[in-house]
Amino acid sequence: MAAGLWHIREVSVLNIRIKFQKYGVMKFIGHLDMMRYFQKAIRRAGIDIAYSGGYSPHQIMSFAAPLGVGITSDGEYFDIAVNSTKSSRESIEALNCAMAEGVSILEYKKLPDTAKTSMSLVAAADYLIYVKPEYAPSFLPQEELQGKIQEFYKGQPEILITKQTKKSQVEMDLKQFIYQMKAGDTPEHASGTLFLRVCTGSSNNIKPELVLETFCQFCGLTYQPAMFQIQRLEVYAKSDEIPVKGEKEQKAYRDYMAQLKASYEKQGKHVPEFLPLGALGEDIP
């Protein structure tokens, strides 16, 4: 996002959005434990995080979209509030010194004061799914996979599945929540890889495993969860949702979108429907 979009106001805290990568053995650390991990890591890194009031103050921190155990990610986000901050570069460096192997900080960006939380903005996520080396090549080869995806995703008017809820079974159309599905082009993996963009967030959260399982059934394959490595690539907000609450900031965002739209149209393209959560913040010099 263009520098200088959000003007700095005199406020008690600054909102920061942090993007990180999670890989290797860290994929076995669950969501709640990752939150605890970051609480300690932030203290080790000396980030001047703000605390809530009350008798047992806690760090002001909120995560965008929980990641299932076993899934790796290149695009995890959480927001914190800080009392003061160093530059993005210095903060990323300090945080990375406090990380365990398998977590890397990628971005540390300032958000406007009235920014909505990343959690409330999450609308979609991208996933790459591939067969783990020890199981390869036991999935469909790339070309066959392409054909099957065509039949499954493009070929079917709807993809009906039954979802087990606490009380009953509900039939739902999965297709409306799959925004993209294609065979990926990743030569480093022996079998075919699958790229997915699915609806994510509090209202309709689609787990990539669900799509994968349904797809395997469609192909007549037994779904073996441990065979696949799912990697989250990015988490998005909808570009037409205004990510700030303050009037001034809303206007700034609309102006920015108008500029963005113009620049896309110049190239004969449309403004993307989704923007990465990190695109809503800007680097601190």
Partner 1 sequence: MRTLALSDEILLNIDKPARYIGNEINMVKKDPSTVDIRFAMCFPDVYEIGMSHLGIQILYSMFNQREDVYCERAYSPWGDLHKIMKERKIPLFTLETQSPVKDMDFLGITIQYEMCYTNILQILDLSQIPLLSSQRGEECPIVIGGGPCTYNPEPLADFFDMFYIGEGETRYGELFELYKSIRGQGGTRQEFLRAACKIPGIYVPSLYEITYQEDGTIASFQPKYEDVPAAVEKEVEMDVSHAPYPVKPLVPYIKITQDRVVLEIQRGCIRGCRFCQAGMVYRPTRERDVAVLKQYAQEMLKNTGHEEISLSSLSSSDYSQLPELVNFLVESKEQGVNISLPSLRIDAFSLEAMEKVQDIRKSSLTFAPEAGSQRLRDVINKGLTEETILHGAGMAFEGGWQKVKLYFMLGLPTENEDDMREIPRLADKIARRYYEIPKDRRNGKCQITISTSFFVPKPFTPFQWASMCPKEGYLARAKVVNEEMKAQLNRKSLKYNWHEADVTVLEGVFARGDRRVGQVLLKAYEKGCMFDAWTECFDNQKWMEAFQETGVSIDFYNLRQRELDEILPWDFIRCGVTKEFLTREWERAQKGQLTLNCKEACNGCGAMAYQGGVCLEHQN
Contacts with partner 1, residue ranges (CB under 8 A): 23-26, 28-30, 33, 36-37, 39-44, 51, 55-59, 69-70, 98, 100-102, 132, 134, 225-226
**Token pair for 235:** 């988490």
Amino acid at 184: G
- Spell out the long-range contacts of 256-264 with Cβ–Cβ below 8 A and sequence spacing 24 or more: 256/1, 256/2, 256/5, 259/2
Q: Considering the complex, what minimum distance in angstroms separates the CB of residue 231 from partner 1? A: 13
- In the bound complex, what is the minimum distance in angstroms from residue 94's beta carbon to partner 1? 12
Residues 6+ apart with CB under 8 A from 118: 17, 62, 63, 64, 77, 78, 79, 235, 237, 277
If one counts every other C-beta atom within 10 angstroms of the C-beta of residue 144, the result is 14
Beta carbons of 74 and 208 less than 8 angstroms apart: no
- Cβ 34 to partner 1 shortest distance, Å: 8
Cβ–Cβ < 8 Å for 1, 239: no
Q: Which residues pair with 172 in a beta bridge?
A: 161
Nearest CB to partner 1, comparing residues 57 and 155: 57
Which lies closer to partner 1 via its Cβ, residue 27 or residue 110? 27
Residue with tokens 């805290």: 13
Q: Which is nearer to partner 1, 70 or 276 (CB)?
A: 70
Determine phi and psi for 230, rounding to 5 degrees.
Answer: -100, 130
Residue closer to partner 1 (CB basis): 14 or 244: 14
Nearest-approach distance from CB 67 to partner 1, in angstroms: 14
Q: With respect to partner 1, which residue has the nearer C-beta, 23 or 223?
A: 23
Considering the complex, what minimum distance in angstroms separates the CB of residue 234 from partner 1? 22
